[in-house]
Chains A and B, each alone.
Chain A
Amino acid sequence: MKQLIAILEGIGSTVRMLVRAAGFVPTLPRQLPRFMDQCYQIGYTTLPIVSVLSFFIGSVLALQAGYSMESFGAKEFIGSLVGLSMARELGPMMVAILLAGRVGSAIAAELASMKVYQEVDALVTMNIPPERILVLPRLAAVLVMMPVLTIIANLVGWFGGAIVAHSVEFIALDPEKYFETLRRFTKFDDVASGLVKAEVFGFVVVTICCSIGLNTRGGPREIGAAVTKAVVVSLILILVLDYFLTKALM
């Protein structure tokens, strides 16, 4: 019962934070440097790890597909399998998980420590709503950066699959054939649905991390707990939402 109330309290404070942040949207142009800084943190610095991970996800997909499909002579369809899997599912999902692990944890830690060390209280005292300068730029930045990260993840994954399909001896699939089947079966609608998913995931991750960070109470120990909680809740929500979003976007 106590836990249920805590969950409801968390949902309530998150919604309140979102509503308040939405109320400050007109102030966004004046916060451009802050917004840019968040874009840099969320997008630019996440790019290397997203690229490396996507490359190997695409490669492994091609390898597994080649291994399975080679036995019944359908290995030319590796391109379509990698293309659709990356665009519809793995691209947005992996970017969201990386975002939760890399950016979400940082947001939660930063805001939790600000809250614990009463910097947030100081802002409130100075009549500066924390939702305006702490939450809104991050939400705006993640909405702008997620499609960019996702499309890069997709493309890097596709190329990773092509390289593996071509270079692995027992698959040896011509890249031209790989991309031909990829193009034949993967439509931009698939990519677009992946981008929509990524936007939702990014928005949810940043919202959860900001909310948990700003609701931290106690001392330095709670900062660590808040980070763990933020990442775990984000991951669970990503996977749960993924199912419903996939169903809705079909």
Chain B
Amino acid sequence: MTTKENTARVGLFFLLGVALIWVTSETLSDGKAIKSRGYPLVAGFDNLKELKQGDDVRMAGVKIGSVQETRLAGRRAEAVLRIDPVVQIAGDATATIGSAGLLGTNYIAIDLGSAGVAPLAAGAEIRTATSADLNTIMTQLGELGGKLDGALGSIGEVLKGKDGQPGMFQRLDALLAENSSKVDATLTNLQQVTDKLNRGEGTLGKLINDPRLHDELLAAAGDLKAATAEARTIMTSAQAIVDRVKTGQGSLGTLIYDDKAGQDLKAIAANLKDVSDKLAKGEGTLGKLINDDSLFREAQGTLRKADRALDGMGDSGPITAVGVVAGALF
């Protein structure tokens, strides 16, 4: 093995080491080779919590990129996300900071958004929402505990009393002790009232104990039921009639629903009007009979003549009766 060969090996070895250091550096600090892939999105939050460079960006649980940079921008914190170029994020998708475990590993969770909404362009800002973290929840729980403590303390004060004032139980006790005779009397009265009720005395007692009222009520209910049944039968019949009328059956149905009947009625009305007009004008026999009084007068004259003839017949006998009638009439 010559020195020259050894030198070449050392050179190769050294170059290999330098290359490895470079590759390690690029890989561990999310090197440029990875940075150039995908498009950036900006997500602004009030608080990035434990989020740091290199954390995952997940859509519906699937990794679609990583956090490229975290920075302060004015009054808020911004995370620059590097999203896989094959993934398109809907314009109304929302980013939240999720927690992958209890060890403080965070990631950005993006929901799917709505279908058909235009995707976000490179460099656009994605909508964000604040998610409650464990610290906030613990703080709120602590506040709640404080309030609960205060409330329980107040209840305790009410029950036990405060600053020498008697508590609720002491007051109740004193009240009962002072009014024990009245309470006793009230209870005795109450006892008497319930006894009377049990015996069926008084209106209320009868109401409770007398079975007649119950029977009468039952009978009334039975009558009501029968009446209802009859009413239902009547209604059914009426319904049947209405149905028949509606289908145009029977006189009423024909009258209401048959056009021909209507036209006939109209024609009858017109004829009636015509006849009454003629009657009014005195046309025709009946019109004349109604309007012309000459016939009446002639009939009256004829009847008078007939009367006289009958009187003459009575005088001359039946043999000449025909001649008398003929002579009287003509």
Contacts and interface: CB of A to CB of B under 8 A. Distances in A.
Interface string B1-38: 00100110110011011101100110111100000000
A187 B29 contact: yes
Contact of A36 (B10, B24, B27, B30): B10
A44 B54 CA distance: 35
B28 A186 contact: yes
A191 B17 CA distance: 13
A195 interface: yes
Given A43-B13, A188-B29, A151 B3 contact: no
A155 B20 contact: yes
Contacts of A188: 24-25, 28-29
Contact of A151 (B7, B10, B20, B103): B20
B55 interface: yes
A44 B6 contact: yes
A40 B9 contact: yes
B-side interface mostly: helix
A43 B6 CA distance: 11
Contacts of B17: 145, 147-149, 151-152
A-side interface mostly: helix
A47 B10 CA distance: 11
Interface-central residue, B9, B21, B29, B54, by most chain A CB under 10 Å = B21
Nearest to A73: B101
Interface in B28-61: 28-30, 54-55
B103 A74 contact: yes
A33 interface: yes
Interface in A132-149: 144-145, 147-149
A39 interface: yes
Nearest to A190: B28
B257 to A, nearest CB: 85
A113 interface: no
Contact of B10 (A39, A155, A186, A190): A39
Contacts of B105: 184
Interface string A6-47: 000000000000000000000000000100110110011001
A154 interface: yes
Interface in A185-244: 186-188, 190-191, 195
Given A74-B103, A144-B14, A195 B21 contact: yes
Contacts of A154: 24
Contacts of B7: 33, 36, 40
Contact of B24 (A40, A47, A144, A191): A191
Given A33-B3, A40-B6, A188-B25, A183 B20 contact: no
Contact of A183 (B6, B9, B10, B28): B28
Contacts of B27: 183
B24 A183 contact: no
Nearest to B55: A184
A74 B10 CA distance: 42
Interface in A106-128: none
Nearest to B14: A148
A233 B243 CA distance: 121
Given A33-B3, A74-B103, A184-B54, 6 more contacts: A36-B6, A39-B13, A44-B9, A151-B21, A186-B28, A188-B24
